[in-house]
A and B are shown apart, each in its own frame.
Chain A
Amino acid sequence: MHESQLLHFAAHRLQEVALLIMATVYTIRLIWLFRFKAGGDRQGRTGRFSTSPQKGALYSLANIAMPWAMESTRTKPVFWIQFALFHLGVTAAITLSFVIPYAPSVLNNGLVVFGFQAFIGAACLIGCYRMYRRISDKTMRAISAPDDYFSLALLTVWFAFGVLAAPNDISNGEGIMITFFMLTAFFLIYVPFSKIGHYLYYPITRYYLGRSLGYRGVFPIQKSVKPQKVAH
C-alpha cells in the first residue's frame, strides 16, 4: 500500500524542516550561552590529590549513568529506573521517526517492532505517572509552570502515538502515522524553547560543576558509608 502525499510530506519534508529549525535555534542558543564568560579558579587546588578537574568533569558528566553516585538516586532506585526508561523511550521514539521514512524494512521484523513498542510504551506509562505526580504532589505543583505540564503531556501523547506507529502499518488508515509525524515535527520545533531542551544544557552545567569540584577534591564523591550499629 502506498502512502499518501500528506504522509510522505509529514514523514520527510516536514521532519527535515523541523530538524533544520531545531538545529538553527540550538545554535543561536549555544552562541547566546557561550557569550557569558566562564568563571575560573585562580587558587591552588584543594582536597584529595587523586582527583583533578578532568576526573571531576568526567565523573560529573557520567553521573547520570551512575545511580549510586548521588544520594538522591541511590536512595530512590525506582525513580532512577523510571528516569532511564523514560529517556530510553525518547531515544526509541526519535529513532522510530527516522526508521519509518528511511529504513522501513527494519520494521518487518516483529521483534524489532515489539522492542520499539516496549520502550516507547514504558515511557508512555511513566509519562502518565509523572503527570500524576506533578499534579498530586504539593511541592511538584509549586515548582511547575505551564511549560512543565505541556512538555510532559506532549511527550506522553507522542509516546502513545509512537507505540501505535511502530508497526508502520497504514492498512487501516494513515491517521496514526500522520499524527505521529506531526507531533514529532512539533516536538522538534518546540524543544529548544521548552524545558525539553535541557539535554543541551546538561553537558555544560555538569561539566563546569565537575571541573570545579574535581579541582577541589570533592568529585568523585566519597560515598557515605553507613556505620555498623554498635551498642552504646
Chain B
Amino acid sequence: MATQVRSHKAQKVLDRLSKKLNRQMVGSMIACVHCGMCTESCHYVQTNPDDPTYAPAYKADQIRKIFKRHHDWMGRVFPWWVHAKTILTDEDLEELKDIAFGKCTNCRRCTINCPMGVDFATVNRMVRGLLVHVGVMPEGVSVVSKDQWEIGNQMGVLKEDYIDTIEWMEEELQDELEDPEAKIPIDKPDCDIVYTINPREVKYDPRTIADAAKIFYYAGANWTMASEGWDMTNFGLFSGDDDLGGTVAKRVYEKVQELNGKMLVISECGHGYRSTRCEGPNWGGVTLPFDSESSVDTMLRYIKEGKIKVDKTKNSTPVTFHDSCNNARSCGLYEEPRELLNLVCSDFREMYPNRAENYCCTGGGGAMSMGEYTPRRLKSAEVKANQLRETGAKIVITSCHNCVDGLNDLIKHYKLDMGVTQLVNLVAEALVPPEKAVPAQEPKAAATLKGYKILVVDDEPDTLTYLTTVLEDNEATTLQAADGATGIELAKKEKPDLITLDISMPGMDGGEVFARLREDPETRMIPVCIVSGKPELRGLIYDKPHRPPEGYLDKPVEEETLVLNARKILELARKQN
C-alpha cells in the first residue's frame, strides 16, 4: 500500500505544535473524559442540537487526535483505540480551520463548565495560531492581521486620519463645553494617563472619544493620547498568533514608556483589555514598569473620588448589561461595570445568566471579520437574543466594541427593539458640569452640510426619501439613485462630494457598485459611506481588495448620526485634498 506523503503545510503544523505545547495545554489534551458536561454550555450547540460537531468536546477532539497520534503513547501505538489521527493534506487543515475559526468564538464558557478543567478555548486559540502560521485562515483574519502588522492598527486607519479625527473631536468638545482650552492632547509627555483606544472608535464611533475626553476634562485629568501605538486591540488574541500579539502589545507599552506615562488606560474593549492588560506581557515577554487599567475602573474611581459628579436620572431608559467574555470570563472585570452602571442609570436590569457565566455576544473571537461564517454566527445568536429579550430593556450596555457590533447584528437579525451603547456614553451623558462650567447659554447652531453635493443610493423609497430629506435639511445638495447602475452613472456625471450606499439592492448589489466606483479613476476618490440594514453582508464590501469605505452606518440611522458622520467624512476629505 502506498504511503501518503504529508503536505508541506501539514508538516509545518506538526512541527510547530511540538513547540507550542506547555503543561496546561498538554493537560487539556489528555484530561478529557468525554463526559459531555461541556456540551450545553456552548451557544453553538444550543442552537444546533442535532449537530454533534458543534460540541466543545468534539471540536477539541479534532485537535486532540493529532496530539495523541504524535505525542501520546496510546495514540502512537493503538491510534484507532483512542481515535488518534495525523494530518496529511491541506484539506485536513481546511477542516481544522472550519472548526477553529468557524465553530467557536473562544468564549471560554465550556472551560468554566468542564469538571476536569480542560481549557478548550486556549487549545482552540493555539490551533488557530498553528493554522495562521501556514497561511490557513479566513480571508478576513488575514486582512485584519496584515493591517495590524503593517499599518499598526487592525482597521488600517492611517495616522493622518487618526489625528484628523482626534482634532475634529477636540473641536466638537470645545464647541460643546464652550471652552477653547478643552483639549485632546496628543503625545503630551509625563502624563498621569495615556489613553488608548479601539480603531473602531476612530472609524465608526468617534463620539466615544469625545465622551471620554469630556470625562477627563471634567475630572481635571492630566492625560494624553498617543500619535502611534494608540491601538489597544490585538488581533493576535483572535488569530492565535503570539508573535503578532507580542508585537502589537509592545507598540503600546513602548509608547507609554516613551511618553513617560504613569498609567495606561484602556478604553472599553473586551479583547483589547485582555490583550493589553493580561496577555500582552506574556506574549511580548516583558514586565511593565507602569500600571494599566480599564477605563471602566478610571470612570468609577473618578466618581468615587468626587472628581466627577453624575446624575443617574439623566439615563432613565431601561438598560441591561452584557458582560464581554474577555472582560468577565478571562479577566474578572464584571463587578466594576455594574457598580458604575448603578451610579449612572436609574433603571438597570440584570440579564441571566451574567458575569462570568454570561453567553458570548456571538461576535467574539474575531467572528465579525469572518464573513463566511456569518449565517452560523447569527443562528447561534438566538441564545443571546432570547437573553436580551427577557430583560425588557431598551438599551444593552457593553464594555466591548466587538460586542457592540455583534449585538447590533443580532438585534437587527432577531428584530429586537433595542439599542447598544457603552458605559463611556452613559457616564458622559450623566455628567453634572461643575458650577462654573455651566453658563446658561443657548446651544450653538450645529455646523451644516452647506455646499456639499451628496449622492444617495438606496433601493428602498422610504429610506431614499428619509436620507435625502435629512441631508437637505442640513443644507446639502442631494442626488438620488434607486439602483446601483444609476448610482454609478450619476457618480461619474455629477462627481458628488460623498456617496451614501446601500448594500442589499436588487440587480447590482452595493458590493459590486462599491467595487466599480473604486476601480474607476473618475470615481475612485469619491468618499463612500455604507448605510446598510444587513450587517451580515459587510463582507461584500470589506472583503474586496479596495480601499475601505470612509464610513459605515447601520440602518435605521438617526439624523444626528448621519449628519455627524457625513460631516466628518467630508471634512477629512477636504483636508486631505
Contact = CB atoms under 8 A, between A and B. Distances in A.
Given A44-B288, A142-B55, A216-B331, A137 B36 contact: yes
B304 interface: no
Interface in B38-59: 38-41, 45, 50, 52-53, 55, 57-58
A37 B80 CA distance: 29
Nearest to A211: B24
Interface string B13-44: 00000000111111110111111111111000
B89 interface: no
B121 to A, nearest CB: 11
B124 to A, nearest CB: 15
B331 A42 contact: no
B388 to A, nearest CB: 12
A38 B52 CA distance: 32
A37 B24 CA distance: 9
B335 A140 contact: no
B82 interface: yes
Given A46-B278, A205-B24, 17 more contacts: A33-B23, A33-B27, A34-B23, A37-B22, A42-B281, A47-B333, A71-B357, A142-B53, A144-B34, A146-B82, A147-B82, A198-B116, A201-B116, A216-B332, A218-B328, A223-B357, A226-B352
A142 B58 contact: yes
13 contacts: A36-B23, A44-B291, A47-B332, A63-B115, A71-B41, A71-B353, A140-B34, A142-B58, A143-B61, A146-B81, A147-B81, A213-B332, A221-B355
B350 interface: yes
Contact of B81 (A48, A145, A201, A222): A145
B282 A209 contact: no
Contacts of B318: 232
A43 B280 contact: yes
- A-B pairs with lowest CB-CB distance, top 3: A47-B332, A217-B332, A232-B392
A195 B392 contact: no
B22 A36 contact: yes
A227 B349 contact: yes
Interface in A178-232: 193-195, 198, 201-202, 204-206, 208-210, 212-213, 216-218, 221-227, 230, 232
A62 B211 CA distance: 45
B3 interface: no
Nearest to A198: B33
Nearest to A197: B30
A63 B31 CA distance: 16
Contacts of A212: 24
A174 interface: no
A80 to B, nearest CB: 9
Interface residues of A, number: 62
A216 B278 contact: yes
A146 B80 CA distance: 8
B27 A204 contact: yes
A27 to B, nearest CB: 14
A94 to B, nearest CB: 18
Contact of A221 (B33, B331, B352, B356): B356
Q: Chain A CB within 10 Å — which of B50, B82, B277, B332 has the most? A: B332
Interface in A133-189: 137-148
Contacts of B24: 38-39, 205, 208-209, 212
B354 interface: yes
Contacts of A73: 37, 115
Contacts of A213: 112, 332
Nearest to B65: A145
Contacts of B53: 142
Contacts of B114: 72
A60 interface: yes
B332 A51 contact: yes
B26 A70 contact: no
A19 interface: no
Contacts of B23: 33-34, 36-39, 204, 208
Interface string B49-83: 01011010110010000000000011000001111
Contacts of A225: 350, 352, 354
Contacts of B291: 44
Interface string B74-117: 10000011110000000000000000000000000001111111
Nearest to A39: B22
Interface string A43-87: 110111001000000001001100000111100000100010000
Given A72-B115, A205-B31, A210-B117, A39 B331 contact: no
A222 B356 contact: yes
Q: Chain A CB within 10 Å — which of B28, B36, B117, B328 has the most? A: B117
B119 A42 contact: no
B423 interface: no
Contacts of B350: 225, 227
B330 interface: yes
A209 B111 contact: yes
B471 interface: no
Contacts of B332: 46-48, 51, 213, 216-218
Contacts of A226: 352
B287 A42 contact: yes
B513 interface: no
Given A142-B55, A227-B349, A70 B115 contact: yes
Contacts of A193: 73-74
